[in-house]
Amino acid sequence: MAELVLLGTERSHFTRKVRLLMDHLGLDYDMVDIGNVAEADQSLFGENPLMVVPVLRAAGRDLYDSDNIARWLVGRYDPDDRFCVLASTVDAMNLHAVMNGMMSAEVKLVLSARTGLEPAGVPYFEKAREVLAAGMTWLASRADAFTPAKPGWKEFHFISLWDHMTVCDLVPGNWPDLEALAETLRGHELIARSAPPGLEAHC
Ligand SMILES: N[C@@H](CCC(=O)N[C@@H](CS)C(=O)NCC(=O)O)C(=O)O
The predicted-structure confidence for 163-183, as pLDDT tens digits, reads as follows 999 999 999 999 999 999 999
CB atoms within 10 A of CB 164: 24
The rounded percent of the chain whose pLDDT value lies above 90 is 94
Letter for the amino acid at 196?
A: P
CA of 49 to the centre of ligand 1 (A): 12
Q: How confident is the model at residue 203 (pLDDT cuts 50, 70, 90)?
A: low
pLDDT for 154 beyond 70:
yes
Enumerate the β-bridge partners of residue 55. Answer: 7, 64
Question: What phi and psi, each to the nearest 5 degrees, are found at residue 55?
Answer: -130, 130
> Is the Cα dihedral 154, 155, 160, 161 positive or negative?
positive
Q: Is the minimum distance from the CB of 85 to ligand 1 under 6 angstroms? A: no
pLDDT value of position 83:
98
pLDDT for 200 beyond 80:
no
Residue 20 to residue 31: CA distance in whole angstroms: 12
CA of 103 to the centre of ligand 1 (A): 9
- Nearest CA owner, ligand 1 atom 10: 12
Give per-residue pLDDT as tens, 64-86.
Answer: 999 999 999 999 999 999 999 99
CB atoms within 10 A of CB 94: 13
Q: Is 143 helix (H, G, I), strand (E, B) or coil?
A: helix
Residue 135 to residue 138: CA distance in whole angstroms: 5
pLDDT for 108 beyond 70:
yes
Is 156 in contact with 186 (CB distance < 8 Å)?
Answer: no
Q: Is 113 helix (H, G, I), strand (E, B) or coil?
A: helix
Enumerate the β-bridge partners of residue 56. Answer: 6, 63
For the chain, domains (ranges, CATH) are 4-77 (3.40.30.10), 90-202 (1.20.1050.10)
Atom nearest to 15 CA in ligand 1 = 10
